[in-house]
Chain A
Amino acid sequence: MRPRVSHARRSYATATKADLYDVVVVGGGPAGLSLASSLRSSSVTNGLRVALVEGFDLAPGRNWKPEPQTFSNRVSSLTPGSVGFLTDIGAWKHVDRDRVQAYHGMQVWDGISGSRIQFNWNPSASETIAYMTENTNLVHGLLSRLSELGGVEVIDKTRVENISFGEDNGELDLRTWPTVEITGGRKLTARLLVGADGANSPVRTFAGIESRGWDYDRHGVVATVKLAEGSSLGIEKTAYQRFLPSGPVALLPLPGDFATLVWSTTPQNAAKLKTLAPTDMAAMVNAAFRLSHVDIDFIKDLDSGIAGEVQWRESVTQFDYTRVPGRVVGVQDKSVASFPLKLRHADTYIGERVALIGDAAHTVHPLAGQGLNQGIGDVQSLIKTVETAVQNGQDIGSVLSLEPYYSEQYFKNHLMLGVVDKLHKLYGTTSAPIVALRSFGLSAVDAMTGLKSLIMKQASGGR
């Protein structure tokens, strides 16, 4: 319709020949890799053209050769629901199962009153609460699955430099299609751009979606620890979590005599813990599960002799040996690290030709071990949404197609964020009436088998 000189048009079209993809995933973490794998695994969506862009080098994850008796300090608790989905998309079989630890029991107690709640699945039914899995193990499994499937263009060691919109070249109007410019100047134009690019998601920024929340003024200290030999014998493994006024401390089982620590505490405490010698650090962890919070506060400020002090105070403190974790005897070299804890929730997960998954959409307090599971839940929901859209001949990037993903996940995640946040706040107090109330609640829950199993079903993402 518009008059146009023919040769000019030709050169214009050539110059702006767009590199078109049905789905471009930004971010090669567990969420992004799960999405790419599931898109290729589904017979409905495997015709889509998919690219994944990741800033870091994925080779270490791909060629992961773990040392026996050594575990990464970045470990996630995968619910049976998440593992079921990873099995469905063919990734779980690529995860090194010898380095995954299932647990069947959970001990949670109040650090002030001692009220506790004990979760045990029926051992004969061998029901698993969660699977402790190193993140690198999962990433390795997902990358192996992706290579096995083929068809996804994985572009790593490449940063997203800019995201803009496509052009209208007269024949095609790509002005609603996000165009991702990567290092080296190449541009990928996406029918659907998925932000799996973490808490500071550039995709979310591009889509103009706000993320709101707050910082907890707490840091999570993680470490890989070794327990006294034989202290975690038997098939049944248990996770331990004690709520201290400064935050919960958790010890979660790894294979053999190993365990992973997640200790939420003040930034000052976290900084102090990171400076401790291994023997003192081990003593502090033992103290955290055994001594009174007043003792713990006192000991952590000592400049020297922590191990001896803990030993002495333990000998005069009464606690139930059968209900605390095995004694920590060593801390794996270089495994102590910390990160700030925060709560964030994006205003929405979708926009025209944009979807957010995982940490790009939400960041949760780690006390319930739900962060990665929420991300996998997002993938599970998004893939179902895309499948439905494809089957109904819809444009998978349109808001109308993406709406079911948003409505299914947003409120589910919001509830989880809220519950975990309230738990954090409830246990962050030493006020006597509140301690009495929360202890009564915990004891009451412990006495009610039905309610407990309901809570556990929620925690394990029952499907």
Chain B
Amino acid sequence: MSSRLLRRLPQTLPLSTPLRRAPLAFPLSRQHSTGSGTSVDPTEISHFDGLASTWWDPHGSSRLLHLMNPLRLHFIQTCLLRGTPVPPTPSARGTESVGADPIAAVQGHRESEEGGLRYLDIGCGGGILAEALARLKSTRSVVGVDASSGVLEVAEAHRRMDPGLVKGGRLRYENCVVEELGGRLKGEERGGFDVVTMMEVIEHVPHPHAFLYTAMSHVRPGGWLCLSTISRSWISYLTTVFVAEDVLGIVPRGTHDWNKYLNAEELEGFFHAQKNWGSGGGMVTMGCMYLPGLGWKEVKGGEKVGNYFFGVRRDLE
């Protein structure tokens, strides 16, 4: 029932940004609803599984997530332009182009390259971001993690449809809560990832601080933690909670807990207080908005009212 309503959402609502984003955030939130793997609500996962079948339908409920993907890559690129985990060396692949365009590269045959970047995508869902990252030539490998086995089945089935993703272990999924991820990491992954991403996740987490600490533990020195979320403003309250849940009822009540929304200043404040994080320009905030007919666009100051990206770099040791 609720999944059907969610699927209809993008077609029926006025295109206010937070509303458009509400259904996107909902599925991704499930695996993080608690701080431990034992308290994930099975009914929430089954609800989430209902959405899974349309994950890769270009006109399905995840269309807006697909459309947002280029902006996500743009943001990650913006962060990497401020500093890469490893200073460029002559042996690193594409050293010359790293400054100009660190992650945009060529699709096609490629081998896992020594100089490539390792990504961890927390709350990877059907793999929209994880697949895109894995196709970039500058990528060495991507690990996607999600607590829902149903959605990971979809992600895995879709991964097998692209020989470029199957080859050389470029992309792998782990079905667990992020707190349990450590035991599943292999080799160099244990030393941390170059980029850890968490898209549309943190606003659904009951204990964001504890959750952030867990995610931070997977970032290697010089690497980035990149996330996207929504600010706690009266506009986001009106659109995502009051209109969508209370008035129209098209999003099940309780989907969003407005009080859990994090403002950019709060994230900035949190990381300013952390030792060895975000020094020397290693903190980036970018507001964005879905504009009908134009798609997702960067909007200066957008973080004050609605969706935004936040990136923070772990200092080099």
Contacts and interface: CB of A to CB of B under 8 A. Distances in A.
B247 interface: no
Contacts of A171: 160, 166
Interface stretch (B10-18, B131-139, B237-245, B263-271): B131-139
Contact of B106 (A44, A173, A177): A44
Contacts of A72: none
Given A393-B131, A393-B135, A47 B106 contact: yes
Interface string B36-66: 0000000000000000000000100000001
A396 interface: yes
Contact of A392 (B70, B109, B134, B162): B70
A22 B160 contact: no
B286 interface: no
Nearest to A189: B163
B107 interface: yes
A400 B135 contact: no
B39 to A, nearest CB: 28
A45 B73 contact: no
Contacts of A390: 105-108
Interface string A373-399: 000000000000000111111111011
A175 B66 CA distance: 22
A403 interface: yes
Interface string A39-81: 0000011111100000000000000000000000000000000
B106 A399 contact: no
Contact of B134 (A173, A388, A393): A393
Contacts of A45: 106-107
A393 B136 contact: yes
Nearest to A174: B161
Contact of B161 (A44, A49, A176, A392): A176
Contacts of B157: 173
A22 B109 CA distance: 9
B233 interface: no
Interface string B253-281: 00000000000000000000000000000
Max chain A Cβ within 10 angstroms of own Cβ: one of B109, B137, B162 = B162
B181 interface: no
B229 to A, nearest CB: 22
B110 A47 contact: yes
Interface string B90-117: 0000000000000011111110000000
A276 to B, nearest CB: 55
A277 interface: no
Contacts of A191: 162
B69 interface: yes
Interface string B136-176: 11000000000000000000010011110010000000000
Interface in A130-161: none
Given A173-B157, A174-B161, A398-B58, A393 B132 contact: yes
Given A172-B163, A173-B160, A400-B66, A393 B109 contact: no
A363 B289 CA distance: 40
B106 A393 contact: no
Nearest to B59: A399
A394 B106 contact: no
Contact of B73 (A177, A393, A395, A398): A393
Given A172-B166, A174-B161, A399-B58, A46 B106 contact: yes
A9 to B, nearest CB: 15
Interface string A170-206: 0111111100000000000001000000000000000
B286 to A, nearest CB: 17
Given A171-B160, A174-B161, A394 B135 contact: yes
17 contacts: A47-B106, A47-B109, A47-B137, A48-B106, A48-B108, A49-B108, A172-B161, A173-B157, A174-B161, A177-B161, A391-B105, A392-B69, A393-B131, A395-B131, A395-B135, A398-B58, A400-B66
Interface of A: 20, 22, 44-49, 168, 171-177, 191, 388-396, 398-400, 403
* 7 cross-chain pairs, A with B, having the tightest CB-CB distances, nearest first: A393-B132, A47-B108, A47-B106, A393-B135, A391-B104, A390-B107, A173-B160
